[in-house]
Amino acid sequence: MSWAPSSGIVKAIEIAALRAVLASVSLFVMSGCLAPVDAPIADAGGAPINRAPAIAPEQTTPSGGIVQLNANCSEQEFRIGAVDEMDLNDILYVRWFVDYDGDANTAIAQDSLLPREQVTTRRVGTSFRLQFNSPRHFPNGLRVGAAAAHQLEAVVSDRDFLSGTEPLNRAVPDEGRFDHVWWLLVFSDDEDCPEELTP
């Protein structure tokens, strides 16, 4: 003689099972909300892997590459609009260079920090205002023409830059990761600066 529960018992069992499933799903969803967005990634030996920051090119202005500038104006703003960083606890260090060459010119034009972010992997970036008449930015003066272009570069590192280590002022620790963007600046002086750009 086989045993079969009555319909009332079946109904009660179904309701209890449904409640258990809903409770499990709720617990899973809630724990997912409380878990860090930045789940650690480890290598085969279990050591955490440091992931490199990534500058968002679509939010970089002007776009990286060749930029035509009017030497009769006074300045131009360059902006890194956003940086993607999967390791939420990393502070990002942004360092700007004008005409860096590793020997004769290792000067830092500007330092910026992007603080830790606990909510999203995309961080608001930073900007740099290049001043055409600044001896700090152009110690040897402004060069005009495509054959004498200047270069502006921004380096974003997830570790602080090292001091006294080559390449000077831009070396990062071995465990550090970085990204960079550069602009080739071609100045011309054959027309007046538009009124809205005049200081």
The tokens describing 108, both together, are 């830092």
Q: Considering the domain boundaries, does residue 101 fall inside one?
A: yes
Higher pLDDT, 171 or 195: 171
The pLDDT assigned to 125 comes to 96
Number of folded domains that form the chain: 2
> Distance (Å, rounded) from C-alpha 151 to C-alpha 137?
11
> How do residues 151-176 score in pLDDT, each as one tens digit?
999 999 999 999 999 999 999 999 99
- Looking at the structure, tell me whether residues 30 and 98 fall in a common domain: no
* Structural Rg of the chain based on CA atoms: 27
The pLDDT assigned to 13 comes to 42
Please state the rounded mean pLDDT for residues 115-132. Answer: 94
pTM over 0.85: no
> Distance (Å, rounded) from C-alpha 6 to C-alpha 154?
74
Range of the domain at 1: 1-35
> Distance (Å, rounded) from C-alpha 7 to C-alpha 18?
16
- Looking at the structure, tell me whether residues 30 and 70 fall in a common domain: no
Amino acid in the structure at residue 66: I
Task: Find where tokens 């018992």 sit.
Answer: 9
> How do residues 27-81 score in pLDDT, each as one tens digit?
333 333 333 444 456 556 667 789 999 999 999 999 999 999 999 999 999 999 9
Q: Considering the domain boundaries, does residue 49 fall inside one?
A: no
Closest CA to 122 of 199, 58, 28, 74: 58
- Looking at the structure, tell me whether residues 25 and 85 fall in a common domain: no
- Looking at the structure, tell me whether residues 31 and 59 fall in a common domain: no
Rounded to 5°, the CA angle 15-16-21 comes to: 95
The pLDDT assigned to 194 comes to 85
